């Protein structure tokens, strides 16, 4: 690949992180975990209640993560869990903070049963000026055939090595 690739993601349970790492194994590039300045509670029910409130009002948390050389990347993979039918608030913050003109955005989503929801649509709204490719959607960690699903998806969007 001749693209300068960034693979960025937010992961609460580790599922999205695992998928990001598997994508990285295939396409290379730079991995960047999006982290909020104030971490979410490790208690799942507390986190779920907070995430529900935040997604309902469109809250965008301050991030601990910075990407100083964002302009140098022309292909950005964006990974998020599906939180209440949309992207997680940290991912929304990251997307809103950058200029997407001329960038290729490659979304991927993990979920606990909610499917893709509005994830791709909402990424598109925040990445105005960028080209959005088809979104990979995986249940939890993708299961034992996650690598195959990722490979097929990368091939379908013409990104496999």
Query: Which residues have C-beta within 8 Å of that of residue 115, sequence separation ≥ 6?
Result: 82, 137
Other beta carbons within 10 Å of 154:
19
Whether residue 88 contacts residue 10, with contact meaning beta carbons closer than 8 Å, is answered with: yes
Tell me the per-residue pLDDT of 23-65, one tens digit each, with 9 for 90 and over: 999 999 999 999 999 999 999 999 999 999 999 999 999 999 9
Task: Give the separation between CA 111 and CA 79, rounded to whole angstroms.
Answer: 11
CA pair distance 45, 79, nearest whole angstrom? 22
pLDDT category of residue 96 using cuts at 50, 70 and 90: very high
User: Is the pLDDT at 117 greater than 80, yes or no?
Assistant: yes
> Distance (Å, rounded) from C-alpha 4 to C-alpha 139?
28
Q: Which residues pair with 31 in a beta bridge?
A: 7
pTM of the model: 0.94
Name which of 84, 110, 93 is nearest 17 in CA terms: 110
Strands (E), 18-152: 30-33, 75-81, 104-111, 131-132, 136-139
Distance CA 32, CA 69 (A): 12
Mean of per-residue pLDDT scores for the chain: 94
CATH code for 5-156? 3.40.50.360
pLDDT digits (tens, 9 = 90+) for 58-69: 999 999 999 989
- Give, as one character, the DSSP assignment of residue 110: E
């Amino acid at each position: 690949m001749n693209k300068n690739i960034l693979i960025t993601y937010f992961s609460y349970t580790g599922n999205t992180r695992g998928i990001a790492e598997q994508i990285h194994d295939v396409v290379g590039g730079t991995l960047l975990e999006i982290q909020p300045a104030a971490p979410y509670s490790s208690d799942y029910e507390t986190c779920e209640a907070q995430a529900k409130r935040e997604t309902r009002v469109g809250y965008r948390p301050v991030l601990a993560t910075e990407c100083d050389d964002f302009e140098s990347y022309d292909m950005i993979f964006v990974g998020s869990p599906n939180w209440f039918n949309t992207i997680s608030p940290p991912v929304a913050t990251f997307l809103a903070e950058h200029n997407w003109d001329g960038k290729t955005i490659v979304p991927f989503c993990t979920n606990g049963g909610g499917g893709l929801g509005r994830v791709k649509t909402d990424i598109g709204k925040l990445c105005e000026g960028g080209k959005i490719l088809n979104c990979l959607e995986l249940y939890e960690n993708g299961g034992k055939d996650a690598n195959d699903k990722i490979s097929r998806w990368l091939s379908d969007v013409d990104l496999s090595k």
